Structure 1
């Protein structure tokens, strides 16, 4: 069977995107967008050092995404992957927009005038959070199918229909509108070692496409435009974060616009630390079955999540005796289990996401607060600790779990 993410279609699309980014129009956009973004960002020296690697990912993500925008010829493509190889060629990462490291993000172009069916199979270990979101061109929600609760046949197979008609007895139906633009699919892996992404294929129903596909030159123009959009979107997002004071959480919201999920609660802030300091975050999840605590830079890519603990979710964390969770954000290992590793970045963005609350919503104890603590005082907090060998085992388990969705990386 094909891997649910590393499909032949995905690989062919990534290789085509590698060729696309060599087009003169796209190369010119690489230069101009970088100049504009750096000129606006007012980034620190530490952030400047992260720009080149992050920029490569954000721009490649724009190439991957923009080249699957034809609703008459839809494909299922995965974005926000880490770097890997396909047919001996290096494929850059494609993270952008402060991604969630637990999530396999896939996109499918949709027209409200067309009819589609998605077919696939759920994994043996179903995900805690899984949504098929139909949205407009401003990332506003048109309709949502809850993959965790959708109808699935006994063999694990499923179908989701997408068109402008009412469901009419169809169990998994997304009702589109003239504004429908795209399906944005989130497969959220809480347990990296067990949770399985869905397999997904799409078929447009009806006759042959009424219009021709974009020429290479037209596609290059579309890619250049999306590159500029990605940089502008991320720049505004980071600017909003940096208007808040450092080492303080004051923003919590739910939303169904600009890519946010209406069923999630977001708690965002930023840290700014001296080498001998840690930012300690206390979380009461309000009954959420899922939460994640990831770090990112101002360029919109998360930190090292493969070989460092640049994020931790609920399954990867140890609770306190009272059921709450405490995380220590620091550049040096403080010896606690719930260490979120800054990878040497003394400042950054933290976007805590909580989801899958009990019926009726979050409990009143939902909260997330942060405080700066000297590193040499962390041992006084009474937090779950780890030995060096336990840390090594934690990181080895983390890497093995992540590579289940990135089988191209073998070392």
Structure 2
């Protein structure tokens, strides 16, 4: 029986994987790929000077995520890997961040490699405060959905423990069963924390229970080749995603779509766009959530990493936001503090990507009022153009940010670097 007495994310296994990835990125093959992928990405991105200044730090995170993720691809020796974290210390060493692909700041992303020819058990335990949104998505090799298990509604014992069975057979009475196919490649698990200060991520462990013998594990050189390939894939994936957003007209935030391919989550609605401002301007976003229990409004750079989400309000979700009197929400995106409660801090940037995510609509799906609309407003004219917004004092803002950091560190007990 797995030991679930420690932290659900900062496990001994997670730290071992991170330290191993830290050594891996020093391999000559990986270091060569690091430089070639960077040059290729920069040559294609046509980034502004402001975005170019963010590249080095963002690129280091994207590449470290590739090292961690690519190291856990052995379906005969599966592990649980958290693949999107902020930089933190482990055993006296600095572990880089691993955000990529326009991550959701509310999500703890974990992966488990799976083969459709094998049998597995995922054992875990939910916390006292279960999450509003939690999905175990079985992907194929192209991030397409093979099957989904809803962690919010799965069967759980009185002590919070659960077992998920994974194999090619029908459930046949097994309560938390995921039936695989030959296309099954890995689980992509989202633990989404709406209330950072209260929601508990799941403890997780995996075991392959098939009797077939495992072939030899990858050599270090083979692993380095796999990491180099994933580094290039991550850069191409994010580059295409950002290019698609930047093909849209700026400051036109009104597109809603849903999908279950290329990493998008089935049953979520995404509203994507970008802002492009002049000094002294803000981008005001009006949101009607269509009855969603959960939504988040995060900002990202064109390299696919979110902005400062711990010491700045680089994102706000439904629980962190103040609603309007009619139940809608209004957010003000700006590089400087406008003194508004729902300020999303662009960390000095006058351009960026927004990826509003909405989920958990109930059995009837989204209401007809679902949507979001954006407009540019001069900061000096904000109160006249957008009256009635809840204002905050400098002391209230300082308290908000202190509470935000403390709440985030519940999932990063090692601290930040």
| TM-score tier after normalising by the smaller chain length | over 0.9
3-state SS of 1:19 partner:
helix
Tell me the equivalent position of 2:394.
388
2:260 to 256, 262, 265: 256
Q: Separation in 2 of the partners of 1:340 and 1:327? A: 7
2:151 to 125, 147, 151: 147
3-state SS of 1:369 partner:
strand
2:305 to 301, 305, 316: 301
Tell me the equivalent position of 1:271.
275
Matched, 1:237 2:238: no
Q: Separation in 2 of the partners of 1:163 and 1:269? A: 39
Tell me the equivalent position of 2:179.
175
> Which aligned pairs between 1:362-401 and structure 2 lie closer than 5 A?
362-380=366-384, 381=386, 382-401=388-407
Tell me the equivalent position of 1:165.
169
3-state SS of 2:205 partner:
strand
In 1, are the aligned partners of 2:86 and 2:416 still within 8 Å (CA)? no
In 1, are the aligned partners of 2:254 and 2:374 still within 8 Å (CA)? no
Tell me the equivalent position of 1:8.
12
Q: Separation in 2 of the partners of 1:358 and 1:210? A: 43
In 1, are the aligned partners of 2:87 and 2:416 still within 8 Å (CA)? no
Equivalent pairs, count: 411
3-state SS of 1:63 partner:
helix
Tell me the equivalent position of 2:26.
22
* Structure 2 spans left out of the alignment, 5+ residues: none
Give CA deviations for 1:320-356 in whole Å, capped at 9, x if unaligned.
0110000000001011100000000111100000000
Matched, 1:326 2:323: no
Tell me the equivalent position of 2:65.
61
Q: How far 1:206 moved relative to its partner?
A: 2.2
3-state SS of 1:2 partner:
coil
3-state SS of 1:263 partner:
coil
Give CA deviations for 1:350-396 in whole Å, capped at 9, x if unaligned.
00000000221001111100000000122232101111111111111
Q: Separation in 1 of the partners of 2:82 and 2:67? A: 12
Say if 1:129 and 1:368 are closer, same or farther in 2 by CA, change over 3 A: same
2:113 to 109, 130, 148: 109
Q: Separation in 2 of the partners of 1:379 and 1:90? A: 44
3-state SS of 2:358 partner:
strand
Tell me the equivalent position of 1:227.
231
Q: Separation in 2 of the partners of 1:80 and 1:337? A: 28
Q: How far 1:117 moved relative to its partner?
A: 0.3
Matched, 1:189 2:174: no
Instruction: Give the TM-score, by structure 1 length.
Output: 0.99
In 2, are the aligned partners of 1:73 and 1:209 still within 8 Å (CA)? no
Matched, 1:80 2:69: no
Q: Separation in 2 of the partners of 1:177 and 1:206? A: 16
Tell me the equivalent position of 1:91.
95
Alpha-carbon RMSD: 0.9
3-state SS of 2:366 partner:
coil
Instruction: Give the TM-score, by structure 2 length.
Output: 0.98
In 1, are the aligned partners of 2:295 and 2:357 still within 8 Å (CA)? yes
